[in-house]
Amino acid sequence: MFSQILLFTINLLPANVGHFLCCLIKSIPVLKDFLPSPQQEPVTFSNRKGLQCISPLMRSVEETPQPILTKVKGHIPKWLNGSLLRNGPGKFEFGEEKFNHWFDGMALLHQFQLENGIVTYRSKFLQSDSYVTNSRHNRIVVSEFGTLAMPDPCKSIFGRFISWFEMPRPTDNCSVNYVVYKGDYYVSTETNFMRKVDPETLETKEKVDWSKFVVVNGATAHPHYEPDGTAYNMGNSYGKHGSSYSIIRIPPQNSNRDDMLQGAKVLCSIAPAEKMKPSYYHSFGMSENYVVFIEQPIKINLCRVITSKFLGKPIADGINWEPQYKTRFHVVNKHTGELLPGQFYSKPFATFHQINAFEDQGCVVLDLCCQDDGGSLHIYQLQNLRKAGEGLDQIYNSTARAFPRRFVLPLNVDSSVPVGQNLSPLSYTSASAVKEVDGTVWCMHENLHSEDLEEVGGLEFPQINYSRCNGRKYRFFYGCGFRHLVGDSLIKMDTETKKMKIWQEDGFYPSEPVFVPVPKATAEDSGVILSVVVTPLQNQNTFLLVLDAETFSELGRAEVPVQMPYGFHGVFVPR
Ligand SMILES: [Fe+2]
């Protein structure tokens, strides 16, 4: 997402030099960033004290390229055959140069292979161009989201000066997630580049450029899938007239082994509220017939991004929480590409991950994790995550917690609908959608939790029984509780009773829970939850945790004598 904006500017600038200069002049006030800024009172969202230092979870590690046997305690079900693939940062410096932001670390691919109750582990660094080039030069050559690469010190003074005016190339450090298109596995970040990988060997394969197949400059790392393999994703398109949000459909079948994303199409383009200030988004919702895009007040200031290198700032500095904007929901018909005329708004909130969306009685019901403050992108700088003592407590307490919320978006909002009336006919939710005088619809959420979720720090990294429930009515979702800056518990939430079940062990930090259904399951929660649990304690082991998804009790764990950093997302590949 971030570097792709710079790619766009290469095309944009020659045709818009005047506009560029205008932007540059407008951006001059940001020069104040070079001056000491007045101290601002940190906002406090919670009041925790004595947080454990998790610095070892954000340190570089060695890869484990050959599979090693884990020590299984308890019982790993024999039916559970396949691989849990996980992605996340695993190297945070090259030579003397260090990355600034957690998201900048080089992608380390993890694989837990499960077969007849036996578990092996291996990991390999993604051999991205970014990783290979940085390694070869033993310094950071490719800019990442929060780190601006410095000019080559071996260049002449003139060469170094000129390089400040060059656009950084987008990174292919695909550290966020695994995605599947046409049956092939890729790792993804949010730029225009993905890397194909072999899910068996973790070998890095072809580099794929979204913009070669469809007019977008990148895509999210959270596509949605139909049961037949059709995939949907979203990306921004940048052109001479500014930006637009594009919804993309990728067909399910490979016509031949080399066609990659051939056949991908932009289904719908949505104009941002401000063309030079589109919203940042990390994912989107999908029901059976609709895609729901949430335009949130985390804004990408394109003028700031265009001038970021010139100003010596990373791209991250051009992205900010601007709560003077409301959050807006856009609903698109998946079959026709039609953008529905209803204008749905809510109070400003930030969201990174949707939980699920489904249709009921002429409405789309959308469940997602929401924060009332969207400043957390900047909080996750490595210097913050590596703090200890009061400094760490302060960082945590200034980060808004994420809570699961339900919104209802009525699909038919015509002129005959009365102003001031709640348009939601759904008796099971208190979420409302009220038509305003100006014809817009004001949406109020329902909390998808009880007060006890606040005690475990809210919930993020939501997952569901995807193959059975995505786009359909459902009951259970799973996630991490956040009594720390990373997940420190696993939660199962019942959307009907709002009761939850929790797994937690002091000093251990579980990753995003992945649901795997038991073969021929009848119940929605009939299956297991897989989570990789890491610890900063040097005398304790990392382990793959297997929970019974119904009872949330531990079935077994597979201990690995290898330190791992805290990661982002993963998938289970059944065999
Ligand atoms: Fe994500």
- Looking at the DSSP bridge assignments, the partners of residue 572 are 84
Report the separation in Å between the CA atom of 246 and the middle of ligand 1, taken as the mean of its atom positions: 19
Report the separation in Å between the CA atom of 306 and the middle of ligand 1, taken as the mean of its atom positions: 25
Helix (H) or strand (E) holding 159: helix 157-163
Report the separation in Å between the CA atom of 268 and the middle of ligand 1, taken as the mean of its atom positions: 23
DSSP string, 186-248: EEE-SSSEEEEE-TTT--EEEEEEGGGTSS-S---S--EE-TTS-EEEEEEEEETTEEEEEEE
Report the separation in Å between the CA atom of 369 and the middle of ligand 1, taken as the mean of its atom positions: 11
Q: Is 330 annotated as a binding residue?
A: no
Report the separation in Å between the CA atom of 198 and the middle of ligand 1, taken as the mean of its atom positions: 21
**Measured between alpha carbons, how far is 454 from 401 in angstroms, rounded to an integer?**
8
Please work out, in degrees rounded to the nearest 5, the angle formed at the alpha carbon of residue 415 by the alpha carbons of 275 and 340: 40
Report the separation in Å between the CA atom of 13 and the middle of ligand 1, taken as the mean of its atom positions: 31
| Each residue's pLDDT expressed in tens, for the chain with a length of 575 residues | 444 444 444 333 333 333 433 344 344 443 333 333 444 556 668 899 999 999 999 999 999 999 999 999 999 999 999 999 999 999 999 999 999 999 999 999 999 999 999 999 999 999 999 999 999 999 999 999 999 987 766 666 665 555 555 556 789 999 999 999 999 999 999 999 999 999 999 999 999 999 999 999 999 999 999 999 999 999 999 877 779 999 999 999 865 666 789 999 999 999 999 999 999 999 999 999 999 999 999 999 988 888 887 888 888 889 999 999 999 999 999 999 999 998 999 999 999 999 999 999 999 999 999 999 999 888 999 999 999 999 999 999 999 999 999 999 999 988 888 999 999 999 999 999 999 999 999 999 999 999 999 999 999 999 999 999 999 999 999 999 999 999 999 999 999 999 999 999 999 999 999 999 999 999 999 999 999 999 999 999 999 999 999 999 999 999 999 999 999 999 999 99
Report the separation in Å between the CA atom of 469 and the middle of ligand 1, taken as the mean of its atom positions: 19
Report the separation in Å between the CA atom of 282 and the middle of ligand 1, taken as the mean of its atom positions: 6
Report the separation in Å between the CA atom of 446 and the middle of ligand 1, taken as the mean of its atom positions: 23
Of 212, 84, 215, which Cα lies nearest the Cα of 512? Answer: 84
**Measured between alpha carbons, how far is 330 from 341 in angstroms, rounded to an integer?**
9
Report the separation in Å between the CA atom of 195 and the middle of ligand 1, taken as the mean of its atom positions: 17
Report the separation in Å between the CA atom of 19 and the middle of ligand 1, taken as the mean of its atom positions: 34
Report the separation in Å between the CA atom of 437 and the middle of ligand 1, taken as the mean of its atom positions: 37
Report the separation in Å between the CA atom of 177 and the middle of ligand 1, taken as the mean of its atom positions: 7
Report the separation in Å between the CA atom of 90 and the middle of ligand 1, taken as the mean of its atom positions: 17
Exposure of 12 by Cβ count < 10 A (0-12 exposed, 13-18 middle, 19+ buried)?
Answer: buried
pLDDT of residue 239: 77
Report the separation in Å between the CA atom of 140 and the middle of ligand 1, taken as the mean of its atom positions: 24
pLDDT of residue 194: 97
Q: Is 335 annotated as a binding residue?
A: no
Q: Is 110 annotated as a binding residue?
A: no
- The pairing of strands 441-444 and 344-346 is parallel
Helices (H), 223-354: 302-306
Report the separation in Å between the CA atom of 34 and the middle of ligand 1, taken as the mean of its atom positions: 32
Checking phi first, is residue 116 left (phi over 0); if not, alpha (psi -120 to 50) or beta? left
DSSP character at residue 289: S
**Measured between alpha carbons, how far is 208 from 230 in angstroms, rounded to an integer?**
18
Termini Cα distance of the chain = 33
Report the separation in Å between the CA atom of 137 and the middle of ligand 1, taken as the mean of its atom positions: 30
- The pairing of strands 106-115 and 184-188 is unpaired
pLDDT of residue 12: 39
Report the separation in Å between the CA atom of 305 and the middle of ligand 1, taken as the mean of its atom positions: 22
Q: Is 19 annotated as a binding residue?
A: no
pTM: 0.90
**Measured between alpha carbons, how far is 369 from 459 in angstroms, rounded to an integer?**
7
Report the separation in Å between the CA atom of 79 and the middle of ligand 1, taken as the mean of its atom positions: 29
Report the separation in Å between the CA atom of 176 and the middle of ligand 1, taken as the mean of its atom positions: 7
Please work out, in degrees rounded to the nearest 5, the angle formed at the alpha carbon of residue 558 by the alpha carbons of 117 and 77: 30
Report the separation in Å between the CA atom of 478 and the middle of ligand 1, taken as the mean of its atom positions: 15
Report the separation in Å between the CA atom of 73 and the middle of ligand 1, taken as the mean of its atom positions: 30
Report the separation in Å between the CA atom of 240 and the middle of ligand 1, taken as the mean of its atom positions: 30
**Measured between alpha carbons, how far is 198 from 179 in angstroms, rounded to an integer?**
12
3-state secondary structure of 377: helix
**Measured between alpha carbons, how far is 247 from 513 in angstroms, rounded to an integer?**
27
